[in-house]
């Protein structure tokens, strides 16, 4: 691709100047349209060392109000980032609706450089290409404009620039060993870059190769492309995209109506079992910590099904330094302004840690579906997006355990009434709970579809029969212990 | 991909029946929406021999009014098709707006089988993958719904079905050698199919793998996917898609205002030259015919620039059995209802033949652009689409020669006036010509952009200075001869 790309010709000075002025003015004007249309714009700058990515970013942002953009330079990973999935540091930086994010270097750099330096083998490389394609598709499917620029300079030009920097004491520090290595192995790098560009050049997020031998010319190319890209994206208000076929191995699951809810546990047995299981879980937590295995526990269930009490029995067994509970309510405005999985990417545990989600990303296919908070196309697409999300997690090495806490309608009524009649429990019951209860059948249909479509072999749902809360707690502990033991 | 694909489970008989009824009713209802929304739907059925593609097509079309669909079985190529570019037989079969086309086998089959049987090497295979991706992108970018189904059965199941067919005298003929070969080399085929699916699984035209062990179940999978796909597509009225960066080598071209139009030719020289050049062209025509090289000559130019007379001097040198002139007016309704390149694909010459287009596909970026017959996104995208189109032609082995016949505004006025004042020429001048003349400057801008963006090294524009028509004719012959000689 890079070689197919034709050396463009830099226009004459006066034309260049005129076109630059036009493009700058257009971008300036477009920022307000972006805001109005709530378009999130992610601009990725990749390419050769010293090709001038940073300098062009500096030029581009001059045309945008500082409130509307963020720039991130993707240097070395922090210790924190090293303990997160490969895509983490990129996903958490996606822009919110109506704003720009410009990335100086990004996932392309990471994937190609790790390959070039033998840090990833062919298999791992291909897995990452897959991850990247899914990531970019998820963004564009969810209304993001993703613009990818590759800054190209020739081997000779790069050498010249590096030497120039090296000659001056004040700029010497800017030349990294990696830059020198790249120049020395230019052809090999070009091949690796080219392969990557080819593999990830999709019609919704295509690559633009920037001829970077002249700085103003590079700026112009980027500006004109950005203007064109934004104008195009603004025309598409809300697009419906094809619902992809599931490609993940699914487990066969029962419908909720088929789940028997008559199981109970004796008070004595409960306490004995609880002690035993919590002790075991505590041991396992240490082992997970030592082996740096992250665990993600996802709780969903009917109102008053007993999620809270169930979670307590898990956390009661854990070292508080090694876990976090995330209660998930409706998204905050800054969360709602981003891809719906963003707030969950942001709450992922570090390796060796446990994150417990009290309600989860599955809100997309339950409350958001039923209340119309997202379009039909959005929630239909979400099953696959969530399977992909969880696949990233398990590929990273995480254990993902998902609980559906199940009760029947009568038990819910009884618990609601009980809450209403007990002063210290009244805060737990709201009008919304009653309204949701009225939609029980619709919810049940949505939940059945969710369980059917997202019970992958690597992250299946576990249905906890919770008419007897104690029985459900013991079950949750047993399942969690079993899943952890499988992995250790 | 095929292996990632999970064996689905066929529902129980009663559920299957119910879902089939629902899906059939939905598809039946959707055909009118498709018509209303003018959505063209291309359904591609690919997969293993005897997996039941044909049988499912038979079931699908039962729900569609015969006026709204066409089915094509892609058997062996006809002699005609063999003398056309690889994509020809597929492109000419694309549906018109508001209608279905179902293809029983298609380009996937051709590409993978030619690879499996060593008819194409790695390089040719990759070129075809590129062609296919461009083809499908061009369709979806232009508002087509492209649904791709791959019918999968196991090696064992395929063997069983083939044996079953072979046992009966009446069905024996349905088993081809290719089917038997496929079953014998099942793993190798699966690998080739898998590679192809992976390479062409785009987010706008994704693959759906159909578990085909049970016929009714296969039908249901296809119907449900089709309903979903159509419902999704209908939500997108007119989408703006990213304008791709040019990846083709371009020649630097002058602006029209830089073209000197003072060149003339003496009457005597003209006749001598004409005779000589026509004789030479005649010889070359024979050679082209023998070597089976197709030639495509594209004429564009200002009204009254002298295109007609110029073309006559070319055809005057040619054997009438070996060329065709295509005068291109506004598209007919059945042409307008399809991808704008369709009518040109339909008029491609056979190998060894010459096709001359009097006005061309470039109408998209001139009259259609200026008169608003297509959207801005449409014509901006078209430069690349036409470069891709011509690349298909030259990759196929064709010589593509494009002439822009240039005159200045004064000469046009003089010729218009002359036409109006000469009774036998009056039919050549219309009100529209006068109206177009008023838009000269806008046209000039569009033409400059067209010449700049579509003068690829493999199919550049040649500007014919035609203030002196005779000079232009000699130039055209010279250029044509030179281009042909380069290739021979």
* Nearest CA-CA partner of B459 in B384, B393, B400: B400
Q: Which residues of A touch B (CB under 8 A)?
A: 1, 4-6, 9, 137, 140-141, 202-209, 225, 228-229, 231-233, 235-236, 239-250, 252, 377, 380
Residue identified by tokens 């793993």 is B187
pLDDT of residue A424: 85
A 10 A CB-CB count for A117 gives: 10
* Model pLDDT for residues A269-320, shown as the tens digit of each residue: 999 999 999 999 999 999 999 999 999 999 999 999 999 999 999 999 999 8
Q: Is A477 helix (H, G, I), strand (E, B) or coil?
A: helix
As given in the structure block, the two tokens for residue A305 are 């099904």
Residues of B with CB below 8 A from A225's CB? 245
> What are the CA-CA distances from residue B81 to residues B53, B89, B345, B350, B388 (Å)?
23, 6, 12, 8, 20
What is the token pair recorded at B74? 């892609």
Chain A residues close to B233, C-beta within 8 Å: 240
How far apart are the CA of A41 and the nearest CA of chain B, in angstroms?
14
Name the helix (H) or strand (E) containing A146: strand A145-152
Q: Which of the residues B8, B245, B250, B379 would you substitute to probe the A interface, choosing the one with the greatest number of A C-beta atoms within 10 Å?
A: B245
Cα(A64)–Cα(A35) distance, integer angstroms: 11
Shortest CB distance from B249 goes to which of A6, A235, A241? A6
Q: What is the pLDDT of residue B427?
A: 83
Picking from A484, A60, A467, A454, the residue whose alpha carbon sits closest to that of residue A260 is: A467
Residue B27 to residue B59: CA distance in whole angstroms:
12
Min Cα distance B234 → chain A (Å) is 9
Q: What is the pLDDT of residues B121-178, one digit of tens each?
A: 999 999 999 999 999 999 999 999 999 999 999 999 999 999 999 998 888 888 989 9
Strand partners, B382: none
Give pLDDT, residue B7: 64
pLDDT of B4 strictly over 80: no
Contact B203 A380 (CB under 8 A): no
Distance separating alpha carbons of residues A429 and A436, to the nearest angstrom? 12
User: A141 and B232: CB-CB below 8 Å?
Assistant: no
Look at residue B426 in the predicted model and tell me its pLDDT.
Answer: 85
| A295-301 and B145-152 strand pairing | unpaired
State whether ipTM is beyond 0.95.
no
**Alpha-carbon Rg of chain A, whole angstroms?**
26
Per-residue model confidence (pLDDT) at position A74? 87
Of A233, A236, A247, the CB nearest to B5: A247
- Which residues in chain B are closer than 8 Å to A258, comparing Cβ atoms? none
Across the range A14-36, mean pLDDT stands at: 96
Q: Are B408 and B467 in contact (CB under 8 A)?
A: yes
Which pLDDT band, with edges at 50, 70 and 90, does A7 fall under?
low
Closest by Cβ to A243, choosing from B232, B243, B245: B232
Q: What is the largest CA-CA distance in chain A?
A: 88
Euclidean distance between the first and final Cα of chain A, in Å? 44
User: B342-385: per-residue pLDDT in tens?
Assistant: 999 999 999 999 999 999 999 999 999 999 999 999 999 999 99
Q: Which residues contact B248 (CB under 8 A, 6 or more apart)?
A: A4, A6, B387, B391, B456, B457, B458
Give every strand in the sheet of A41-47, ordered side by side.
A69-73, A100-104, A41-47, A145-152, A207-211
Tokens of A205: 């997020």
Chain A residues close to B1, C-beta within 8 Å: 247
Structure tokens given for A461: 């749902």
Segment A386-407, tens digit of pLDDT:
999 999 999 999 999 999 999 9
Distance CA A353, CA A80 (A): 12
Q: Which of A169-183, A313-327, B457-471 has the highest mean pLDDT?
A: B457-471
Helix (H) or strand (E) holding A286: helix A267-291
Name the packing angle between helices A107-116 and A122-141 (round to 10°). Answer: 170
Residue B315 pairs in a beta bridge with: none
Does the distance separating the beta carbons of A241 and B232 come in below 8 Å? Answer: yes
Provide, as residue numbers in chain A, all residues whose Cβ is less than 8 Å from the Cβ of B209. 245
pLDDT above 70: residue A370: yes
**Nearest CB neighbour to A235, from listed B140, B206, B377:** B377
Q: What is the pLDDT of residues B42-97, one digit of tens each?
A: 999 999 999 999 999 999 999 999 889 999 998 888 888 999 999 999 999 999 99
- Provide the β-strand partners of residue A400: A296
More confident residue, B6 or B250: B250
Question: What does the mean pLDDT of chain B come to?
Answer: 94
Listed ranges B7-11, B131-135, B248-252; the one with the highest mean pLDDT: B131-135
Which helix (DSSP H) or strand (DSSP E) does residue A19 occupy? Answer: helix A13-36
How far B375 CA lies from chain A's nearest CA (Å)?
Answer: 11
- B73 token code pair: 């079985």
Least Cα separation, residue A244 to chain B (angstroms): 7
Contact B243 A236 (CB under 8 A): no
The strand pair at A354-358 and A69-73 is best described as unpaired
- In degrees to the nearest 10, what's the CA dihedral of B129, B130, B135, B140? 100
Give me the sign of the Cα torsion angle A356, A362, A368, A370: negative
Contact state of A225 with B245 under an 8 Å Cβ cutoff: yes
Span A414-471, pLDDT tens digits: 999 999 998 888 888 889 899 999 999 999 999 999 999 999 999 999 999 999 999 9
Q: What residues of chain B lie within 8 A of the CB of A241, using their CB? A: 203-204, 232
Going A58 to A61 to A62 to A66, the CA torsion angle's sign is: negative
Average pLDDT, chain A: 94
pLDDT at B6: 58
CB contact under 8 A, A203 and B245: no
Q: Which residues of A touch B460 (CB under 8 A)?
A: none
Q: How many A×B Cβ pairs under 8 Å? A: 96
With CB atoms and an 8 Å threshold, state whether B240 touches A243: no
Helix (H) or strand (E) holding A145: strand A145-152
Scanning every residue of chain B, which has its alpha carbon at the shortest distance from the alpha carbon of A208?
B245
Residue with tokens 């990213």: B242
- Yes or no, beta carbons of B245 and A208 under 8 Å apart: yes
User: Cα B97–B100–B106 angle (5° rounding)?
Assistant: 115
- Nearest CB to B242: which of A1, A6, A204? A204
Mutation pick from A2, A6, A258, A452 vs chain B, by most beta carbons of B within 10 Å, is A6
Residue of B1, B6, B137, B391 to mutate, testing the A interface (most A Cβ within 10 Å of its Cβ)? B6
Burial B61-94 (b: 16+ CB within 10 A, else e): bebbeeebbebbebeeeeeebebbbbbbbbbbbb
Residue of chain A whose Cα is closest to the Cα of B3: A247
Q: What are the structural domains, with CATH classification, of chain B? A: 13-235 (3.40.50.300), 256-487 (3.40.50.300)
Q: In the β-sheet with B399-406, what is the strand arrangement from edge to edge?
A: B323-327, B354-358, B295-301, B399-406, B461-465
Q: Name residue, tokens 């075809």.
A: B128
Residues of A in contact with B384 (CB under 8 A): none
Contact B207 A245 (CB under 8 A): yes
The region that residue B397 occupies, defined by phi over 0 for left and psi between -120 and 50 for alpha, beta otherwise, is: left
Alpha carbon distances (Å) from B90 to B101, B267, B351? 11, 49, 18
Question: Which chain A residues are Cβ-neighbours of B205 within 8 angstroms?
Answer: 242
Tell me the per-residue pLDDT of B98-117, one tens digit each, with 9 for 90 and over.
Answer: 999 999 999 999 999 999 99
Mean pLDDT for the stretch of residues A167-195: 93
């Amino acid at each position: 691709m890079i070689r197919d790309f034709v050396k463009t010709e830099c226009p004459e000075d006066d034309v260049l100047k005129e076109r630059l002025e036009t493009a700058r003015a257009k971008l300036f004007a477009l920022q307000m349209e972006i805001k109005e249309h709530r378009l999130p714009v992610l601009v990725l700058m990749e390419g050769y060392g010293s090709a001038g990515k940073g300098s062009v970013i500096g030029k581009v942002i001059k045309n945008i109000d500082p409130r509307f953009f963020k720039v991130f330079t993707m240097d070395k990973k922090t210790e924190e980032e090293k303990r997160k999935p490969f895509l983490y540091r990129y996903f958490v930086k996606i822009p919110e609706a109506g704003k720009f994010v410009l990335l100086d270097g990004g996932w392309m750099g990471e994937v190609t450089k790790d390959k070039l330096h033998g840090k990833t083998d062919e298999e791992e490389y291909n897995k990452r290409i897959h991850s990247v394609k899914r990531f970019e598709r998820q963004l564009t499917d969810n209304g993001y404009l993703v613009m990818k620029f590759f800054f190209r300079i020739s081997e000779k030009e790069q050498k010249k620039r590096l030497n120039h920097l090296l000659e001056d004491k004040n700029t010497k520090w800017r030349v990294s060993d990696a830059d020198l290595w790249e120049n020395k192995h230019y052809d090999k790098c070009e091949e690796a870059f080219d392969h990557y560009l080819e593999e990830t050049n999709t019609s919704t997020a295509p690559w633009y190769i920037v001829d970077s031998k002249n700085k103003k010319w590079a700026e112009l190319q980027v500006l004109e492309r950005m203007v064109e890209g934004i104008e195009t994206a603004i025309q598409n208000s809300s697009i419906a995209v094809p619902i992809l076929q599931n490609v993940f191995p699914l487990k066969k699951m029962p419908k909720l109506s088929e789940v028997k809810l008559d199981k109970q546990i004796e008070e004595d047995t409960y306490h004995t079992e609880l002690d035993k299981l919590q002790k075991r879980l505590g041991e396992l937590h240490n082992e997970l910590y030592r082996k740096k295995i992250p665990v993600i526990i996802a709780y969903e269930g009917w109102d008053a099904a007993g999620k809270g009490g169930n979670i307590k029995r898990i956390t009661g067994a854990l070292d508080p330094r090694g876990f976090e509970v995330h209660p998930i309510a409706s998204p905050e405005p800054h969360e709602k302004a981003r891809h719906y999985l963003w707030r969950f990417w942001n709450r992922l545990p570090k390796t060796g840690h446990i994150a417990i989600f009290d309600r989860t990303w599955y809100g997309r296919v339950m409350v958001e579906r039923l209340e119309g908070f997202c379009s039909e196309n959005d929630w239909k697409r979400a099953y696959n997006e969530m399977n992909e999300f969880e696949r990233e997690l398990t590929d990273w090495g995480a254990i993902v355990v998902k609980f559906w806490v199940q009760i029947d309608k009568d038990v819910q009524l009884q618990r609601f009434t009980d809450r209403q009649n007990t002063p210290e429990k009244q805060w737990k019951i709201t009008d919304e709970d009653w309204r949701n209860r009225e939609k029980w059948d619709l919810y049940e249909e949505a939940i059945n579809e969710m369980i059917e479509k997202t019970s992958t072999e690597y992250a299946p749902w576990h249905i906890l029969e919770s008419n007897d809360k104690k029985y459900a707690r013991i079950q949750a502990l047993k399942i969690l212990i079993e899943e952890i033991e499988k992995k250790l």
